[in-house]
């Protein structure tokens, strides 16, 4: 297992649309393992492959306190959305920034696991929010893009300043 570097906003590579995984093999299983380790080490609850500069449709999520209920979604597709809810979101690619985003309250997602098995999952609450957030990454979209242009510019300025300070 290995820790992967996480891209941070405003890195343009975060806007690359991920391609479907063509074959679930040892490379993809290793990617899932490395992404999980990276997510846990970074104290996150979800991570999309796009965030670690791998532009394939892979997401890992774990909402458990014990960090022992890893959900790996390969080639996930939301097939149904219903209702509306708001939640204060954060993101490993936009560290230290939190804001309220409106998303579907319940979703149905189809995906493959690391063994190539197809699943359908009905999700609500934080799991539904997290899946939608991570799938946005696969489409090249960050949660800050749901915010007003003024907030987006403030966040981009703050992130650029942080990057300059750490160089």
Residue set of the binding site: 91, 133, 137
134 is catalytic: yes
- Find the catalytic residue in 37, 41, 134, 145: 134
CA 40 to CA 1: how far, in whole Å?
Answer: 12
**Helical spans, DSSP H, in 9-148:** 26-41, 125-138
Residues annotated in the binding site for Fe cation, as ranges? 91, 133, 137
| Cα three-residue angle 34-47-14, rounded to 5 degrees | 105
* Cβ atoms of 63 and 30 closer than 8 Å: no
In degrees rounded to 5, what are phi and psi of residue 90? -135, 180
Catalytic residue IDs: 134
């Amino acid at each position: 297992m290995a820790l992967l570097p996480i891209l941070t906003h405003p890195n343009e590579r975060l806007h690359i649309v991920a391609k479907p995984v063509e074959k679930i093999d040892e490379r993809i299983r290793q990617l899932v393992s490395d992404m999980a380790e990276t997510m846990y080490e970074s104290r996150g609850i979800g991570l999309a492959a796009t965030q670690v500069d791998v532009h394939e449709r892979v997401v890992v999520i774990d909402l458990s306190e014990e960090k022992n209920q890893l959900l790996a979604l390969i080639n996930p597709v939301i097939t149904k959305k219903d209702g509306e809810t708001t939640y204060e979101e954060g993101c490993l690619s936009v560290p230290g920034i939190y804001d309220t985003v409106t998303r579907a309250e319940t979703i149905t997602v189809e995906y493959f696991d690391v063994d190539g098995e197809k699943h359908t999952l009905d999700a609500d609450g934080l799991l539904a929010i997290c899946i939608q957030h991570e799938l946005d990454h696969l489409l090249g979209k960050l949660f800050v893009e749901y915010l007003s242009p003024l907030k987006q510019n403030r966040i981009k300025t703050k992130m650029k300043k942080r990057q300059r300070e750490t160089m």
